[in-house]
Amino acid sequence: MSRHFLIIPGILILLACSTGERPGQEKPWSVRIAESFLATHPDSIVYPTEEKSRKWNYEQGVMMEAFYRMWEHTGDSQYVRYIRMNLDYYIDEDGTIRTYKMADFNIDNIPPGKAALRMFKLTGVEKYRRAADTLRRQLSLHPRTKINGFWHKKIYPFQMWLDGIYMAEPFYTLYAATLEEPKAFDDIAHQITFLERQTRDSKTGLLYHGWDESREQKWADPTTGRSPNFWGRAMGWYAMGIVDVLDFFPQDHPQRDSLIAVLRRLTEAVVKYQDMKTGLWYQVVDLADREGNYREASASAMFCYALAKGVRMGYLDGKFLPAARKAFDGLLKELVTVEERGVVSLHDVCSVGGLGGNPYRDGSFEYYIGEPRRTNDFKGYGPFLLAAVELERQISGEHR
């Protein structure tokens, strides 16, 4: 296959040309990415070599969110069918979620609930609402810090991680809007604004990955409780969480402007660390020149999505759109390959990142750059598809 690049209003579009293709057969990037995923994961959103992915989990949640956005964007019902097929793999007729254990109080288990709630709204089938009710009940019982922030997991007491904002709040907001829980919006706003106050660095404006209220963790600063580094994907989850929460957060709520202000502060800080040459962001965002650091795909895709959507929805100034376009172009140039049969692969996605646990993750620079990288990891591929959709919506003038 030969690779040709075409620039259309600032967005790099890769046209795949191989024997038998005719002019006009080129497809938008969103379609190509989505079709690649469906071709390689036709039956379910799981990794073929990773058994733990066959459990209800957040990576399925971000992929189903991307396919829902594809359905909104294209009107192609195959994407809704794919979401439903994946939900039905886990949700029994009585609404029980197979493999899910509420007693774990793991906030990472909440994101697929957004797809379940949306499927209930589309079909009226009660089992989807019952599954969503179960996850809402987890949030009502979920352990919290003394100042009412959700613990990341029961096994990580008194800890809040930036990742948790994406894990809980978009579902929580959609549920509150759908089932009319007006008081929940106060709680949602508190989770986001409180965590920013605990993790924001006054010098750079960047957010530290985690915060330990107890100050007992080895990774926690004994004075502030903060972890020691700025991990790109953690801030990416946080930014995506805010722009998705705002979709359903009431226009007249007194905290709506505060959420937009948090997003603006973060994006102002993040774009200062965008690599000028490639448009990408580094694994440890502020240490680009340190040996071993690398341009990481998932954080770059997440920031791209949050910036593009923020501009489209009017939360961010239009000056941020070029940064989003540059990021997507950089992903295509630096981290994407296209196989002969047209499968789009995204490389250099950090496979995992966390704090504490066993073996212990200390939040050091060495820890973050030492985690394995994976090709087509869902945590990068989902945001990559979301970013493609957002930039295409910019061009087409879609507003919702």
Closest CA to 305 of 396, 398, 383: 383
Retrieve residue 104's tokens: 């774990």
Angle among Cα 316, 322, 326 to the nearest 5 degrees reads 130
More confident residue, 209 or 11: 209
148: helix, strand or coil = coil
User: Percent of the chain scored above 90 by pLDDT?
Assistant: 90
Per-residue confidence band for 399, with pLDDT thresholds at 50, 70 and 90? low
Closest CA to 146 of 94, 213, 195, 208: 213
Per-residue confidence band for 398, with pLDDT thresholds at 50, 70 and 90? low
Lowest-pLDDT range of 134-138, 214-218, 324-328, 394-398: 394-398
| pLDDT above 60 for 12 | no
Q: Per-residue pLDDT tens for 325-381?
A: 999 999 999 999 999 889 999 999 999 999 999 999 999 999 999 999 999 999 999
Retrieve residue 155's tokens: 């096994």
Report the run of H or E that residue 7 belongs to, with start and end. strand 2-8
Q: Per-residue pLDDT tens for 71-122?
A: 999 999 999 999 999 999 999 999 999 999 999 999 999 999 999 999 999 9
Mean per-residue pLDDT, 378-395: 96
77: helix, strand or coil = coil
Residues 6+ apart with CB under 8 A from 64: 45, 83, 86, 87, 112, 114, 115
Q: In the chain, which ranges are continuous DSSP H helix?
A: 29-40, 58-74, 78-90, 112-123, 126-141, 163-178, 184-199, 232-245, 256-271, 297-312, 321-330, 365-370, 378-396
pLDDT of residue 309: 98
Parallel, antiparallel, or unpaired for β 349-350 and 344-346? unpaired
- Give the Cα separation of 243 and 238 in Å (integer): 9
Residues 6+ apart with CB under 8 A from 140: none
- Give the Cα separation of 31 and 156 in Å (integer): 39
Q: Domains (ranges, CATH) in the chain? A: 2-396 (1.50.10.10)
Report the run of H or E that residue 339 belongs to, with start and end. none
- Distances in Å between the Cα of 348 and the Cα atoms of 63, 194, 287, 383, 390 are 18, 32, 17, 14, 22
- Give the Cα separation of 24 and 27 in Å (integer): 8
Q: Per-residue pLDDT tens for 224-270?
A: 999 999 999 999 999 999 999 999 999 999 999 999 999 999 999 99
pLDDT of residue 395: 82
pLDDT of residue 400: 54
Q: List residues with catalytic annotation.
A: 163
Q: Per-residue pLDDT tens for 266-299?
A: 999 999 999 999 999 999 999 999 999 999 999 9
Mean per-residue pLDDT, 31-35: 98
User: Percent of the chain scored above 70 by pLDDT?
Assistant: 93
Per-residue confidence band for 396, with pLDDT thresholds at 50, 70 and 90? confident
The distance between the two most distant Cα atoms of the chain, rounded to a whole number of Å, is: 64
| pLDDT above 50 for 22 | no
CA of residue 229 relative to chain centroid, distance: 20
CA dihedral sign, ordered 84, 312, 182, 302 = positive
- Distances in Å between the Cα of 96 and the Cα atoms of 70, 154, 212, 230 are 27, 21, 33, 38
Mean per-residue pLDDT, 172-185: 97
pTM, 2 dp: 0.93
| pLDDT above 80 for 139 | yes
